[in-house]
């Protein structure tokens, strides 16, 4: 097993149609004061792209995320159909323009959402210059509210605060800071991720994304309208800050000092964004005697890439030797690789060892 470093139905029926067929069926898109809705032959799927509407507890209706995913998929296919049709009809062009706007608002136009510009009507403290001034005032008036070395990330709307700390932020200080409430709403939108390697003093990357004040109606409505996209962008931006700080904390320790824990942290963090670099760091970690690094190399090679060869087995055996009591990680991975190689007796022995080490999920597992 891989180990991690701590830290609408109506639209669905239209997916296969060409844009010409869509025009025949009279699909059109409109906007109400509350939410975008799609009208199909007199019926509606109102709310299908609205990420703010939660289902009732216990309801059998599709969840909020399922509805949003369905909408995103439908709109993406409709746009592709329009492109294949050659942009031949002005009415169709208007329809697709509205659909594309919905895609942006829902976050479906891009896997990580679409970066947003700053509206020209923003209150001063939500503009890049004003936001920086607000951060400076909070740091001056309320020590301990913001993370150490806090800076404003205003590359896109809305601005975000990023910094690091070796301790939890002071919630009492935050609640008592009148300067914060002067500029921002009640929620700090705080997230913490550890960026130091295991065994080292805990250091956290902290991001804060203030919300609109209760009296900022236009801003609140704008953010609500684009909430799906803003949620995606927020996660992407937070991850960018986390990776930047994690690399800053661990790169030299891994590359220069051959610190296995630092290499493991880098390897697991970069697995999705830069798998080649992740493999390089995990290799260093494994060579340095870090069992979890060997384990992840074996798991990625065999489970993720389907290469259950002797190299994968070598990594798995190294991991099990370095971590003979790790039932959930090293021994489980060893059993998996052996089973994929058809070595059933050896795999079942590894499953038994994994069970004896406390990973009860493998107690009744059998490579058969």
202 and 99 co-located in one domain: no
pLDDT band at 188, cuts 50/70/90? confident
Averaged pLDDT for residues 303-310: 95
Give the separation between CA 304 and CA 118, rounded to whole angstroms.
Answer: 41
94 and 132 co-located in one domain: no
Interacting residues of 127 by C-beta distance below 8 A, sequence separation 6+: 118
Task: With respect to residue 99, please indicate whether it lies within any of the assigned structural domains.
Answer: yes
130 and 233 co-located in one domain: yes
The mean-pLDDT minimum among 82-91, 106-115, 145-154 falls in: 82-91
pLDDT band at 174, cuts 50/70/90? confident
- Among the candidates 243, 270, 287, a domain finishes at 243
- The per-residue pLDDT for 84 is 66
38 and 96 co-located in one domain: yes
pLDDT band at 227, cuts 50/70/90? very high
Averaged pLDDT for residues 172-198: 86
Task: With respect to residue 218, please indicate whether it lies within any of the assigned structural domains.
Answer: yes
pLDDT band at 292, cuts 50/70/90? very high
Asked whether residue 43 carries a pLDDT value surpassing 70, the answer given is no
Task: With respect to residue 368, please indicate whether it lies within any of the assigned structural domains.
Answer: no
Task: With respect to residue 190, please indicate whether it lies within any of the assigned structural domains.
Answer: yes
Asked whether residue 44 carries a pLDDT value surpassing 50, the answer given is no
Task: With respect to residue 116, please indicate whether it lies within any of the assigned structural domains.
Answer: no
149 and 99 co-located in one domain: no
The mean-pLDDT minimum among 81-95, 116-130, 176-190 falls in: 81-95
- Among the candidates 106, 138, 170, a domain finishes at 106
265 and 338 co-located in one domain: yes
310 and 214 co-located in one domain: no
Q: Could you read off the pLDDT of 311-367 as tens digits, one per residue?
A: 999 999 999 999 999 999 999 999 999 999 999 999 999 999 999 999 999 999 999
Token output for 350? 């590894």
- Among the candidates 243, 278, 301, a domain finishes at 243
Task: With respect to residue 252, please indicate whether it lies within any of the assigned structural domains.
Answer: no
- The parent domain of residue 326 ranges over 257-362
The mean-pLDDT minimum among 91-95, 116-120, 159-163, 336-340 falls in: 91-95
Number of domains in the chain: 3
307 and 214 co-located in one domain: no
Between residues 131 and 186, which one has the greater pLDDT?
131
Give the separation between CA 205 and CA 210, rounded to whole angstroms.
Answer: 17
58 and 91 co-located in one domain: yes
Task: With respect to residue 89, please indicate whether it lies within any of the assigned structural domains.
Answer: yes
- The per-residue pLDDT for 2 is 75
Task: With respect to residue 117, please indicate whether it lies within any of the assigned structural domains.
Answer: no
- Provide the H-helix boundaries in the chain: 9-12, 19-24, 64-85, 90-106, 128-141, 171-175, 178-183, 217-225, 227-255, 260-269, 275-287, 291-299, 310-322, 332-340, 344-356
CB-based contact 34:331 (threshold 8 Å): no
Between residues 194 and 6, which one has the greater pLDDT?
194
Asked whether residue 82 carries a pLDDT value surpassing 70, the answer given is no
Q: Could you read off the pLDDT of 230-246 as tens digits, one per residue?
A: 999 999 999 999 999 99
188 and 93 co-located in one domain: no
């Amino acid at each position: 097993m891989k180990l991690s470093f701590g830290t609408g139905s109506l639209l669905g029926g239209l997916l296969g149609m060409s844009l010409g067929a869509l025009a025949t069926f009279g699909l059109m898109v409109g906007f109400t004061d509350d939410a975008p809705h799609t009208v199909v032959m007199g019926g509606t799927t109102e709310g299908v792209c609205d990420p703010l509407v939660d289902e009732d507890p216990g309801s059998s209706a599709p969840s909020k995320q399922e509805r949003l995913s369905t909408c995103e998929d439908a709109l993406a296919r409709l746009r592709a159909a329009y492109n294949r049709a050659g942009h031949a009809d002005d009415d169709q062009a208007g329809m697709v323009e509205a659909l594309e706007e919905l895609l942006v608002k829902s976050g479906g136009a891009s896997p990580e959402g679409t970066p947003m510009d700053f509206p020209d009507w923003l209150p001063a403290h939500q503009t890049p210059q004003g936001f920086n001034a607000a951060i400076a005032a909070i740091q001056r008036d309320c020590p301990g509210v913001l993370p150490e070395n806090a800076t404003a990330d205003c590359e896109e709307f809305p601005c975000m605060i990023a910094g690091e700390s070796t301790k939890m932020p002071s919630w009492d200080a935050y609640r008592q800071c009148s300067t914060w409430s002067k500029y921002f709403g009640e929620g700090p939108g705080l997230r913490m991720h550890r960026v130091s390697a295991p065994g080292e003093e805990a250091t956290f990357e902290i991001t804060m994304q203030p919300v609109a004040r209760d009296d900022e109606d236009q801003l609140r409505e704008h953010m609500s309208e684009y909430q799906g996209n803003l949620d995606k962008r927020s996660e992407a931006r937070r991850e960018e800050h986390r990776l930047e700080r994690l690399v800053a904390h661990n790169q030299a320790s891994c590359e220069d000092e051959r610190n296995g824990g630092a290499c493991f942290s880098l390897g697991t963090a970069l697995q999705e964004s830069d798998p080649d670099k992740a493999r390089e760091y995990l290799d260093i970690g494994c060579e340095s005697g870090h069992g979890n690094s060997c384990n992840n190399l074996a798991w990625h090679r065999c489970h993720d890439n389907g290469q259950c060869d002797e190299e994968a087995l070598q990594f798995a055996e190294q991991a099990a030797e370095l971590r003979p009591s790790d039932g959930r990680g090293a021994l489980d991975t060893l059993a998996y690789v052996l089973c994929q190689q058809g070595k059933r007796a050896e795999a079942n022995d590894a499953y038994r060892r994994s069970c004896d080490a406390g990973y009860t999920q493998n107690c009744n597992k059998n490579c058969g």
